Structure 1
Amino acid sequence: MIVLRKVFDFYIQSSLHVGIAVFCLVKITDCDLVPKNIDNYSILVFFGTVLGYNFLKYYDVFRKGNFLSNKHYGILFVSLLSSTGFLLFFSGLKNGIQIKILISGIFVILYPFLRKYGWLKLFFVSFVVTYITVYIPVVLNKPVILECYISLLQRFFILSSLLIPFEIMDTKTDPKSLNTLPQLFGIRKAKQLGYGFIVVFLFLEFINFRIHNFIIDAVIAIVTIIFIRFISLENDEYYTSFWVESVPIFWLVLLILFQ
């Protein structure tokens, strides 16, 4: 049991889980909007997400060589493998797409500098993930039409709502001067803001008038509402780092099973 717990913790801490979640967001776009399979791009996004998140989380550890446990060596190994996989798939893409991916890399590098604007970081992360998981794969395959813009907004709002539990959990460690949304408005109002994002998400799906997708989106909305409703400072780290981050995986499973 202890070994399994350590393996699970490593899976979370090495960003493999969030990599799979963002991979699933690309595949959801594949199911909804893209006329042909984009497996190569979605695999690239998986490797890039693992690499990007580990860069942000462990940059000081890697830079200073402060490897406090075997876990850090393992995470370094996973990061190096991810960088290799990323470069291999990146080299096979068209120049225009490569440029857009490099732009997303610049966004990742900018994040630590923008994080001090606490109220902004939630929207910045939602924007970057939307750019990577909707805008680039759509541009990769077809002209951007009104439906695509609506889907861009949808993804932005559902991601913003899913990030609310993370913002609330982070209030335990964030300095008060950061002025995140829960710090500015309180946990209760931050939750209400998350519910508002979900309403906009569903309204945009209604505009698209895709009844079948609306039902699946409604299920995802309900799941997200539940996670926002029951987030508290007493929850353990797995509540957000595993369960909330599993929502895109559940979403993709629903699309595969019922579309």
Structure 2
Amino acid sequence: MNLIKQLFNFYLNSSVHVALSVVSLSFITVKEFGVTTDYNVLSFIFFATITGYNFVKFFGIAKWHYRSLAKWLKIIQIFSLLCFLCMGYFMLQLEMRVLLYLSVFAAITFLYAMPIIPKRLYVDSNHNLRDISGLKVYIIGLVWAGVTVILPLINSNITSNADVILTTIQRFVFLIAIMLPFEIRDLTFDNFKLATIPQKIGVKQTKIMGLFLLMLFLFLEFFKNELVAVNFATLMVVTLVTAGFILFANKNNSMYYSAFWVESIPILWLLIMVFG
């Protein structure tokens, strides 16, 4: 039983679960727009997510405490290196125009973790985008929306149109909403100067904001060229599930509440779309 728990924790801490969520959102875009599934792109997104997330989470620790790293962290480092190599392989399978688009988000991820921003903008000594007051959640939403909506469409030569723009906005709004339980959970640990949403407006108002975002997420579907009943029903289920997690979020939730269950919502969305 202890081994199963250790493997499950590794699954979460090594960012495999969040990578499956990102790939699920990308696959949802593929299904929604009816484009050909390119497994090179989906594989790249999977390994790039693991590489990027682990770089952001563990860069500072590895840099300053390499000799004293815990065994589990060293294993994640090795795992991340293997994922980086896999990412490199699948990157070579992509076309140049796709790589140019990806370079923008790669630069944002790099700046998110690396201490190279002017000191006057920081809340502490880390000196990266992650620690600029109030910016964190929006950067993550922007990167996820760009990678999971626009990247699969660019790869399939789908030009920007009203539905693409609406879907991108929808995805950004949805991502902000599902990050709110994380923001609430981290209230006890976050530096107050980070000015996270719950720090600025309180937990109750954050939950109201989350419900408003989910209403907007659903409402935007009506502005698309074609309202598909099955897709709308799926969005209704996803909206209700997400709303439940937002309403029951608090700073005493276990790590599994957000890191597993909330992160599973995109996977559930895909499963409903495929098998519903």
TM-score by length of 2: 0.90
Are 2:197 and 1:196 equivalent residues in the alignment? Answer: no
Partner of 1:88: 89
- What secondary structure sits across from 1:171 in the alignment? helix
What residue in structure 2 maps to residue 18 of structure 1?
18
Secondary structure of residue in 1 paired with 2:72? helix
The whole-number CA distance in structure 1 between the counterparts of 2:46 and 2:251 is 30
Aligned to 1:51: 51
Contact 1:41 1:137 in 2 (8 A): yes
Instruction: Tell me the secondary structure at the aligned position of residue 119 of structure 1.
Output: coil
CA contact (8 A) 2:62 2:69 kept: no
Q: Partner of 1:176 in structure 2?
A: 192
Distance 2:70 2:176 in 1: 34
1:125 counterpart residue number:
140
Q: CA deviation at 1:172?
A: 1.2
Counterpart residue identity of residue 161, structure 1: A
Task: Kindly indicate whether residue 236 of structure 2 is the aligned counterpart of residue 235 of structure 1.
Answer: no
Structure 1 pair 82–130 and aligned structure 2 pair: CA distance change class (3 A): same
Q: Higher mean Cα deviation, 121-130 or 111-120? A: 111-120
Q: 103-112 vs 58-67, which deviates more?
A: 58-67
The corresponding residue for 1:78 is 79
List, as ranges, runs of 4+ consecutive aligned residues in structure 1 with deviation greater than 4 Å: none
Q: Distance in 2 between matches of 1:67 and 1:165?
A: 32
**3-state SS, counterpart of residue 188 of structure 2:** coil
Match of 1:165 among 181, 190, 199: 181
Matched, 1:139 2:140: no
Map 1:31-50 to 2 at 5 A. Answer: 31-50=31-50
Alignment-derived partner of residue 104 in structure 1? 105
- Given residue 138 of structure 1, which amino acid in structure 2 is its aligned partner? L
Whether the 8 Å CA contact 2:19–2:50 is kept in 1: the answer is yes
Match of 1:257 in 2: 275
71 and 180 in structure 1: CA distance in 2 versus 1, 3 angstrom threshold: same
Q: Post-superposition shift, 1:66?
A: 4.0
Q: Residue in 2 aligned with 1:156?
A: 172
Aligned to 2:231: 213
Structure 1 pair 34/89, CA: closer, same or farther in 2 (3 Å)? farther
- Does the residue aligned with 2:131 lie in a helix, a strand or coil? coil
Question: By how many angstroms is 1:145 displaced?
Answer: 1.5
Distance 1:175 1:134 in 2: 32
1:51-75 CA-to-partner distances (Å, cap 9, x unmatched) read 0010011112322314432201210
Decide whether the 8 Å contact of 1:20 with 1:249 is kept in 2.
yes
CA drift of 1:157 comes to 0.7
Offset at residue 238 of structure 1 (A): 0.7
Aligned-residue CA RMSD (Å): 1.2
Check whether the contact 1:26–1:133 (CA below 8 A) recurs between aligned residues: yes
Displacement of 1:102 in angstroms is 1.7
The alignment partner of 1:234 has SS state of coil
Unmatched tracts of structure 2, length 5 or more: 114-127
Structure 1, residues 49-107: CA drift from partner, whole Å, max 9, x if none?
A: 00001001111232231443220121011101110110000011111101111211111
CA–CA distance in 1 between the matches of 2:242 and 2:232? 15
**Separation in 2 of the partners of 1:130 and 1:251?**
15
> Equivalent pairs: percent with the same residue?
31
Q: Deviations over 1:221-244 (max 9, x none)?
A: 000000000001111111000100
| Residue aligning to 2:27 | 27
- In the alignment, residue 72 of structure 1 is paired with which amino acid? L
Task: Decide whether the 8 Å contact of 2:181 with 2:246 is kept in 1.
Answer: yes
**Alignment: residue pair count:** 258
- Matched residue type, 1:166: F
